[in-house]
Amino acid sequence: MKKTLISIICLVCAILPMSAQDFTFALLTDTHISKHNPAPAEDLNKVVTEINNNPKIEFVIVSGDLSEEGDFTSLSQAKAILAKLNKPYYAVLGNHETKWTESGMTDFGKIFGSERVKFEHKGFLFLGFNTGPLLRMADGHVVPQDISWLEKELSEAPINQPTFLITHYPLLKGDVDNWYDVTNAVRKYNIKSFLGGHYHSNRFFQYDGIPGIISRSTLRDKDNNPGYTLINVVNDSLYVSEKKINQAPIQWKSLSLTEKYYTKESGNDIYPDFSVNNEYPLVKKIWMNKSGVGIYSSPALYKKNIYVGDDMGYLSAYRIKDGKKLWQFKAEHRILGTPEADNNVVVFGAADKHIYGLNANNGKLLWKIKANAPVLGAVTIHNNIAFIGASDGVFRAIDILSGNIVWQYNQVKGYVETKPLVTDNKVIFGAWDNTLYALNEQTGEVEWLWTGDIKGMHFSPAAVWPVAAHGKVFITDPKRAMTAISLQSGETIWRTNQSMVRETIGLSEDNQRIYSKTMNDSVVCYSAETDIPEHLWSTDVGFGYEHAPSMPIEKEGVLYGSTKNGLMFALNSTTGQIIWKHKVGNSLINTLVPLDKNRVLFTATGGEIGLLEYKNK
């Protein structure tokens, strides 16, 4: 009886006018503090000063992209400015903290206290969480463990408690790949609105029917005015106003706090289309595990097992035959780089600033090496030496049997995420400093450095996994160009923007062709032999806009590829003819690992791990 009475009271409080609960808060977003540009800091300081002079503002929400490059210096500067506020503030991450993150996103939590936000104010619950993407260029994504956290917090809150959800990205198709997972998880609760940014403008959306308020950036506008958003909760309504510095607020939206804008049932949005699977019915899942944790690394194949790192810091071994989990090892923070195994040792780096060597049979720790910053790079093992880059400016060569460092090169100017290429006694890798490095495999001494006159950190050849053939190293980069570089000298042989490719490259097994995904629908093939860019074929795969750094991989005459929205495909590597397509979920599929011409292993940021087979007989 007592519980029923409490439930009735909570329901009544949710629908009655809330004049006793009136309050005002500020929504700031997209501050983009940069160590290279003082203007964003000047704008944010002006906003903070004005907020401090307004006693009606009771707290401040900052909805992501606090920094331009996600680096420690810029995030610390943002924190120092926000610390001047004379009222509480709460911050969530934006894509500039997650895509470009030298720390593997660990700096944000250290500086601001957490990657999530939870607080209550005058009967309202506020929950904030990350919308990604983490390190890889892709759509935004809410990892499974954050959705589980969100559901837990909402289910444990008082019945029908009015709630605001704080994200950076709008929960829209094209912005967040699994928006529907979030909206379906929260729609049975009393969500008043999402609050966010990203678009640098005042917008109102409905995410599957749930209201979504998007704020302008604090950066000065075309009239040189910094600004922010004021939100007033008055009686039974919510009023949203733009506030430019030293100007009166201008209301641009209002919402009822008693009207129900959506139902508990599934919304009306157009959900992802899986009909492509009906077009290619010969493709079957041999097995698929849902880990419940985001995965940003490809599986490492060794003998009869694969090894997968995840966002919670687990390195797990699975049996290829049936997907059975064999063992699990816990690092102290997330694993983002792809591991590799050889000679019964599996090697990986983690954001906890360590490189690990484990027994590949049972997961027992053999050795670990401490770096001076998170280790985000993928591993390449060659002749029992593991090559891996970190975020401390050091690239290491490690004997996998002893765990001893063979050599280290400490002049890398940016953080490393790529998988190194070992060829012709050279180790070749890119970093987020506009540079492609070629080091001597035996000594670690510089053979050459290539920059290609690329300006701006964001255009670095850092996510692509280089390949080499016929005396040339091939890369693609965010400038949407494909480049052939002399393996011997590091000089540019050719560079072309013809196909609008980005951060993906693959090499045929016979070393005659190179492959890449374009940024819209197509896969292209060029000659690896010629000293000019010779285009051989293009295939319209129909995957739409695409910018995920998942590499095309050839096996037994079949070219395998994957996309940011859950699609995998197989092409005839000689002609480009489509063999099959298959969609698993709607999130980024990491670089695939083919077993043969009919079977391919995959992992996805949605937490899926699996094996597909094309049964063409």
> How do residues 557-569 score in pLDDT, each as one tens digit?
999 999 999 999 9
Tell me what pLDDT residue 265 has. 81
Dist. CA 597–CA 582, nearest whole Å: 15
Residue 155: partners with Cβ closer than 8 Å, 6 or more residues away: none
Tell me what pLDDT residue 616 has. 81
Two tokens, residue 563: 């996309």
- Report the amino acid identity of residue 13: C
Dist. CA 147–CA 501, nearest whole Å: 33
**Which CATH architecture is the domain 2-256 placed in?**
4-Layer Sandwich (3.60)
Q: Quick one: pLDDT band at residue 7, thresholds 50, 70, 90?
A: very low
Of 384, 398, 397, 478, the C-alpha closest to 430 is: 478
pLDDT of 550 higher than 80: yes
Percent of the chain at pLDDT > 70 equals 96
Dist. CA 476–CA 39, nearest whole Å: 32
pLDDT, average across residues 107-134: 96
Q: In what order do the strands lie in the sheet with 405-409?
A: 380-382, 385-389, 395-399, 405-409
Of 19, 9, 11, the C-alpha closest to 233 is: 19
pTM above 0.85, yes or no: yes
Tell me what pLDDT residue 58 has. 98
pLDDT of 18 higher than 80: no
pLDDT, average across residues 187-199: 97
Tell me what pLDDT residue 268 has. 66
Tell me what pLDDT residue 617 has. 66
- 479-509 in b/e burial notation, b at 16+ Cβ within 10 A? bbbbbbbbbeebeebebeeebebbbbbbbbe
Say how many residues make up the chain.
617
70 burial type by CB count under 10 A (0-12 exposed, 13-18 middle, 19+ buried): buried
Dist. CA 303–CA 386, nearest whole Å: 18
Tell me what pLDDT residue 539 has. 98
pLDDT, average across residues 215-233: 97
Phi–psi pair at 576, nearest 5 degrees: 85, 0
Q: Quick one: pLDDT band at residue 19, thresholds 50, 70, 90?
A: very low
Dist. CA 133–CA 371, nearest whole Å: 25
pLDDT, average across residues 536-565: 97
Q: Where are the beta strands (DSSP E) in 360-491?
A: 365-370, 380-382, 385-389, 395-399, 405-409, 421-423, 426-431, 435-440, 446-450, 467-469, 472-477, 481-486
Q: State the chain's mean pLDDT as an integer.
A: 95
Tell me what pLDDT residue 177 has. 96
pLDDT of 15 higher than 50: no
pLDDT of 13 higher than 70: no
Residue identified by tokens 């595990």 is: 289
Dist. CA 373–CA 526, nearest whole Å: 38
Q: Beta-carbon neighbour count of residue 602 at 10 Å?
A: 27
Report cis status (omega within 30 of 0) of the bond before 281: no
CA–CA distance from 411 to each of 393, 435, 507 (Å)? 6, 11, 29
What would the DSSP string read from start to end of 6-55? Answer: HHHHHHHHHHS--GGG-EEEEEE----BBTTBSHHHHHHHHHHHHHHT-T
Q: Quick one: pLDDT band at residue 271, thresholds 50, 70, 90?
A: confident
Q: Quick one: pLDDT band at residue 117, thresholds 50, 70, 90?
A: very high
Tell me what pLDDT residue 239 has. 98
Least confident of 7-11, 21-25, 167-171, 478-482: 7-11
Dist. CA 510–CA 345, nearest whole Å: 29
